[in-house]
Amino acid sequence: MASSSDFKYNFVSHKGFNLISGTHDPAEVDAICNYEVRDSDVFVVTYPKSGTIWMQQILRLIEAKGDLTSEELNSDQVPWIELQGKGKEFVEAPSPRLRVTHLPYHLMPHALSQKKGKVIYVARNPKDVLVSYFHFHKFATMLETPKDFNHFFEKFIRGDVYGNSWFEHTKSWYAHQDNMQFLFITYEEMIQDLRSSVKRISSFLGKNLTDAQLTEVVKHSTFKNMRVIPQANYEMVPDDLLNHHNGKFMRKGTIGDWKNHFTVNQNEIFDQIFQKEMKEFPVSFVWDIKDIEQITV
Ligand code: A3P
């Protein structure tokens, strides 16, 4: 039974985290923390819009040693652990079990903190997350369509979205990293140097790829190439869940699009909140594509 249920829009607030009714079942989510974890399990953890599908693609390609010819990217190969009906499948699945999740640390398997399995946390600068999430709300039918950007801006700052507060999600996962086999990587690092990022990820996973295999993984993970893969845009998801006429998963794929959306006032408000919330956080974020020297892959 859910410990607390407070219906708000289409959310069920469960143990301090918004679940989406019809998409998540609180009782199934509750079962996750007691799942047994195998050493070979890999969990990609993200706040929404931080590069989840990108990492799904990279993991699957690393597993296939860069070979995309056998099967196209399919989210079923790296499924969501928290989706309704996916729990039983996880328990029974053969190794290696590769999963993605937006869940907070406290709802994930306790066994992770005994260094069982591996966690890859992908973080992205929150201004770009906010913008990407705003556009996503316009085509994800399970989420409330924002009245306008300002309205969504306020909701995001309040944490009144799926994923709750970006600040809490990022800080809480990061704070527990010493208990886990944990890799923290940013979206911006991946934009800057995809090849080095893929190398870091594969070495964390204990997978030795040849240079040629690495080249293939990188080639099939660039925005340009993923953009045209129907599965990377979740085009197989029916229109009643994602209205594909109103948007695309592979939207801009860059750093700094927030500059085309934030007003000067919104930017000041955001900066103040960011400084207050993240002052102890040891990682700095990149806010503008011009601030990095992009390595061409
Ligand atoms: P934008 O909306 O800013 O373009 P998620 O998978 O967590 O929902 O994140 C989606 C965001 O990741 C989108 O951001 C999408 O374009 C971006 N993305 C996905 N694959 C990418 C890639 N290969 N390179 C750069 N960005 C990518």
The residue with greater pLDDT, 294 or 186, is 186
pLDDT tens sequence across 139-170: 888 899 999 999 999 999 999 999 999 999 99
> How far is residue 124 CA from its own chain's centroid?
9
pLDDT tens sequence across 218-227: 999 999 999 9
Q: Which amino acid residue places its CA nearest to atom 25 of ligand 1?
A: 253
The pLDDT assigned to 2 comes to: 37
Cis upstream peptide for 94 (omega within 30°) = no
The pLDDT assigned to 70 comes to: 55
pLDDT tens sequence across 241-293: 788 888 888 899 999 999 999 999 999 999 999 999 999 999 999 999 999 88
Specify the pTM: 0.94
Tell me if 289 CB under 6 Å of ligand 1: no
Q: Extract the tokens encoding 68.
A: 């995309």
pLDDT tens sequence across 110-127: 999 999 999 999 999 999
- What are the residues whose beta carbons fall under 8 Å from the beta carbon of 88, sequence distance 6 or more? none
- Number of residues that make up the chain: 297
Q: In Å, how far are 42, 68, 205 from 117, measured between CA atoms?
A: 6, 25, 10
The residue with greater pLDDT, 78 or 151, is 151
The pLDDT assigned to 72 comes to: 53
Say if residue 19's pLDDT is above 80.
yes
Closest CA to 289 of 264, 259, 267, 265: 259
- What are the residues whose beta carbons fall under 8 Å from the beta carbon of 271, sequence distance 6 or more? none
For the question of residue 220 being annotated catalytic, the response is no
Q: What is the rounded distance in angstroms from the CA atom of residue 288 to the CA atom of residue 29? A: 37
Q: What is the rounded distance in angstroms from the CA atom of residue 71 to the CA atom of residue 210? A: 21
Tell me if 253 CB under 6 Å of ligand 1: yes
Strand locations in 151-284 (E): 182-186
Long-range contacts of 114-117 (CB under 8 A, 24+ apart): 114/179, 115/179, 115/180, 115/181, 116/37, 116/38, 116/39, 116/41, 117/37, 117/38, 117/39, 117/40, 117/41, 117/42, 117/43, 117/181
Task: Calculate what percentage of the chain has a pLDDT beyond 70.
Answer: 94
Q: Quick one: pLDDT band at residue 71, thresholds 50, 70, 90?
A: low
Q: Are 86 and 79 in contact (CB under 8 A)?
A: yes
Say if residue 134's pLDDT is above 80.
yes
Q: Which atom of ligand 1 is nearest to the CA of 251?
A: 4
Q: What is the rounded distance in angstroms from the CA atom of residue 254 to the CA atom of residue 282? A: 23
Question: What average pLDDT does this structure show over 1-12?
Answer: 53
Q: Extract the tokens encoding 9.
A: 């829009």
Domains in the chain, please, with CATH?
Answer: 10-296 (3.40.50.300)
The pLDDT assigned to 77 comes to: 78
The pLDDT assigned to 74 comes to: 56
Tell me if 53 CB under 6 Å of ligand 1: yes
Give the DSSP letter string of 90-144.
HHHPPSP-EEEE---GGGS-GGGGGT-SEEEEEE--HHHHHHHHHHHHHHBTTSP
Tell me if 133 CB under 6 Å of ligand 1: no
Q: Which amino acid residue places its CA nearest to atom 26 of ligand 1?
A: 253
**154 SS3 class:** helix
Say if residue 32's pLDDT is above 90.
yes
